[in-house]
Amino acid sequence: MSYKEIQRLAVLQDVRDQRITQVRAAEILNLSTRQITRLLHKLNQDGVSGLAHASRGQPGHHRHDDLLKSKCLSIISEHLLGFGPTLAHEKLSSMFGLHIPVETVRRWMTANDLWIPRSKRLKRPYQPRYNRDCFGELIQIDGSYHDWFEGRAAKCCLLVYIDDATGKLLHLRFCEAETTFDYMLSTRAYIEQYGKPLAFYSDKHSVFRVNQKSSQDSQITQFGRILNELNIDIIFANSPQAKGRVERANRTLQDRLIKEMRLEGISSIADANKWLPCFIEQFNRKFAKMAFNPKDLHRAVTETAEELDEVFTWREPRRVTNSLTITYDKYVYLLENTEENQRLIGKYLEFLEYPDGTVAIEHQGRKINYSIFDKLSQLNQREIVENKRLGSVLAHIQQQHEELEQQNKCNRSQKMPRRRAQKTAIQQ
């Protein structure tokens, strides 16, 4: 019996024992007095079983025929094995003319082990691994987007470099977006302080890995080329759990770092980057631990500052036209008209863009003089930029729009009294 039927039985027994009236019983059970009389009659005639619904245990009027059910399951087993309930429902309707509700198909497939609901599937095990033995053997890197300044400044990204063996924060840097140039600046600052590690461990962000399926396996990103020149390997994680140390560090930083900056009154990226070394020292003093092996696998940086300047650049090949020009980012670069440069017509040069925004043109280690011709300067339209600069350009456009709206609002408020005066004069 259901709870509702048990409650009815208790009230009806009170009526039969004359402890309450039928009117009171009807109020308790929210039924009519006539219904109470009918239930009492069935209780006296059939006993407790008379309170149960007569159709209980009987097949439903809208249930599907067993023959149709077996036909549907046989089709799924033979032709639609491995299909989910939703897709199997679509194919049964379009290909076999069996119009059965999707939830009915789901229930049949689950009962016959043709489909396992997600709630009953075994969770994928993520077995823990031991930390690396030596400091500098594996450095996990990641970018964390968050409202780091709690509304005092725009949302930004924190680049995090953490050692796998010790859990030691090695480098932090705030930036507007997780771009190649920002990773260039952070990686250079890191290797100048600690040296070159054995390998970096990152996710499959497009900064680190070419994710286009049509691309060739030999293609690497600009950041990958830089690491290759510095003899630093990069390993890609298949899941966030695989690089759990940096993910847990991000979660800790999103709590502690935010509160520390609030106490320090820091409200800008520049001020935060100046103060971050103090926070890194405090964090490592509390959370870092000793490595299993005291050996430091960082290698000394043998490149000079000038050589590092050339390594940490965005490099792209450009072909020299017959008019001694090359095009990059909607700008035309005019090469110096010399006899040596005329031999470069039809050949590919290397266009270098540095993190500070300066550019250079190089061929076989020789820098080539140039002048810039802006073919868009005469057009009244927005500047055309590459994707790596899109974030900063949109922020600048938003600021211009806000200033323009504020200016228009002031102009409207200044013209309003004049309009009212003109309207009053006309009425008079």
Widest CA span of the chain, in angstroms? 121
The region that residue 231 occupies, defined by phi over 0 for left and psi between -120 and 50 for alpha, beta otherwise, is left
User: pLDDT (tens digit, 9 = 90+) per residue, 379-428?
Assistant: 444 555 555 556 666 666 777 777 777 776 665 555 444 544 444 444 44
Go through 276-311 and write b for each residue having 16 or more CB atoms within 10 A of its CB, e for each that does not. beebbeebbeeebeebeeeeebbbebeeeeeebbbb
Which candidate, 80, 69, 9, places its Cα nearest to that of 39?
9
Parallel, antiparallel or unpaired: strands 348-353 and 314-319: antiparallel
Query: What is the three-class DSSP state of 233?
Result: strand
**pLDDT the model gives residue 61:** 76
Residue 363: what residue type? H
Strand order in the sheet with 331-335: 325-328, 331-335, 370-373
| Cβ–Cβ under 8 Å, residues 12 and 43 | yes
Burial of 48 (0-12, 13-18, 19+ CB in 10 A): middle
Tokens 């599937």 sit at which residue?
A: 121
- The helix or strand, by DSSP H or E, that contains position 148, with its residue range, turns out to be none
Mention every residue, 6+ apart, whose C-beta is less than 8 A from residue 107.
none
**pLDDT the model gives residue 224:** 93
| Cβ–Cβ under 8 Å, residues 182 and 169 | no
| Cβ–Cβ under 8 Å, residues 291 and 135 | yes
Token pair in block for residue 34 = 């006539």
Quote the mean pLDDT of the chain.
85
Among the listed ranges 40-54, 253-267, 325-339, 395-409, which one has the minimum average pLDDT value?
395-409
Tokens 């509160």 sit at which residue?
A: 259
**pLDDT the model gives residue 210:** 87
**pLDDT the model gives residue 422:** 47
As a whole-number percent, the residues of the chain with pLDDT over 70 amount to: 87
Mention every residue, 6+ apart, whose C-beta is less than 8 A from residue 360.
351, 352, 354, 367
377 or 250, which is more confident: 250
User: pLDDT (tens digit, 9 = 90+) per residue, 341-357?
Assistant: 888 899 999 999 999 88
User: pLDDT (tens digit, 9 = 90+) per residue, 179-230?
Assistant: 999 999 999 999 999 999 999 999 989 999 888 766 555 588 999 999 999 9
Give the pLDDT band of residue 296 (cuts 50, 70, 90): very high
Tokens 């970018």 sit at which residue?
A: 143
**pLDDT the model gives residue 107:** 93
**pLDDT the model gives residue 427:** 46
Q: Residue 41: how many CB atoms within 10 A of its CB?
A: 11
Question: Residue 352 pairs with which residues in a beta bridge?
Answer: 315, 360
**pLDDT the model gives residue 192:** 94
DSSP string, 341-410: HHTTTTSEEEEEE-TTS-EEEEETTEE--EEEE-TTTTS-SPPP--GGGHHHHHHHHHHHHHHHHHHHHH
Handedness of CA 68, 70, 72, 78 (dihedral sign): negative
Three-state secondary structure readout of 21-68:
CHHHHHHHHCCCHHHHHHHHHHHHHHHHHHHCCCCCCCCCCCCCCHHH
Q: Residue 99: how many CB atoms within 10 A of its CB?
A: 9
Token pair in block for residue 294 = 């005291």
Residue 171: what residue type? H
Residue 2: what residue type? S
User: pLDDT (tens digit, 9 = 90+) per residue, 1-27?
Assistant: 677 888 888 888 888 888 999 999 889
